[in-house]
């Protein structure tokens, strides 16, 4: 029914003909160039940090989340936010387990900037900074005992 269209990105296309009720109407179409327009950022956008925790640490977080009736990611995010509110405390340098299981932490931009500044101050990655905050909370919850996963050494 219609004529052929010759496409060139970013340029106006040649008019094509369409037939509607036996009348010929020229149609002008443009193709938007890809990749040149910037997308708007959501005002409530959150930043995702993936933290590796041992199986035991992840189970502790899951139990805490279950008691509160929230998801694991929400629990981890709440813990990090609460730890960021109390930066006066002493933080222990815990060994980061590269073989752990991932837990996501979603933070708004303000909290993410605080994490970035802490990671610079502590000279560790953002991921390890979030881990340090979560591990500090888990240690508090467990009564001050550092929880070890002894099966890892077998």
CATH number of the domain enclosing 79? 1.10.1220.10
Instruction: Give a yes or no: residue 19 inside a domain.
Output: no
In angstroms, the CA 132 to CA 80 distance is 9
pLDDT tens digits along 19-58: 555 555 555 555 556 666 788 877 778 899 999 999 999 9
Count the domains in the chain.
1
Nearest to 78 by CA among 116, 104, 52, 114: 104
Query: What is the pLDDT at residue 48?
Result: 93
Q: Rounded CA gap, 23 and 4, in Å?
A: 17
Query: Residue 131: which domain range?
Result: 46-146
Per-residue pLDDT reduced to its tens digit, 77-131 = 999 999 998 887 778 888 888 888 999 999 999 999 999 999 999 999 999 999 9
| Res 43: pLDDT | 75
Query: Quick one: pLDDT band at residue 150, thresholds 50, 70, 90?
Result: very low
Q: Is residue 11 part of a domain?
A: no
If you write DSSP's letter for every residue of 108-119 in order, what string do you get? Answer: EHHHHHHHHHHH
Task: Classify residue 7: in a domain, yes or no.
Answer: no
Residue 135 is assigned to a structural domain of this protein: yes
Q: Please state, in angstroms and rounded to a whole number, the distance separating the CA atoms of residues 124 and 119.
A: 5
């Amino acid at each position: 029914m219609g004529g052929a269209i010759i496409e060139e990105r970013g340029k106006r296309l040649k008019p094509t003909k369409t037939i509607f009720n036996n009348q010929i109407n020229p149609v002008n179409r443009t193709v938007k160039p890809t990749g040149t327009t910037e997308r708007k950022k959501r005002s409530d956008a959150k930043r995702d940090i993936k933290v590796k925790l041992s199986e035991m640490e992840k189970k502790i977080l899951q139990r805490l989340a279950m008691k509160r009736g929230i998801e694991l990611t929400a629990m981890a995010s709440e813990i990090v936010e609460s730890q960021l509110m109390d930066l006066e405390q002493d933080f222990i340098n815990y060994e980061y387990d590269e073989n752990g299981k991932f837990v996501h932490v979603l933070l708004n931009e303000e909290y993410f900037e605080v994490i970035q500044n802490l990671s610079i101050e502590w000279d560790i990655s953002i991921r390890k900074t979030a881990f340090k905050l979560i591990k500090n909370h888990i240690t508090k919850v467990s009564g001050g005992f550092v929880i070890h996963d002894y099966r890892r050494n077998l």
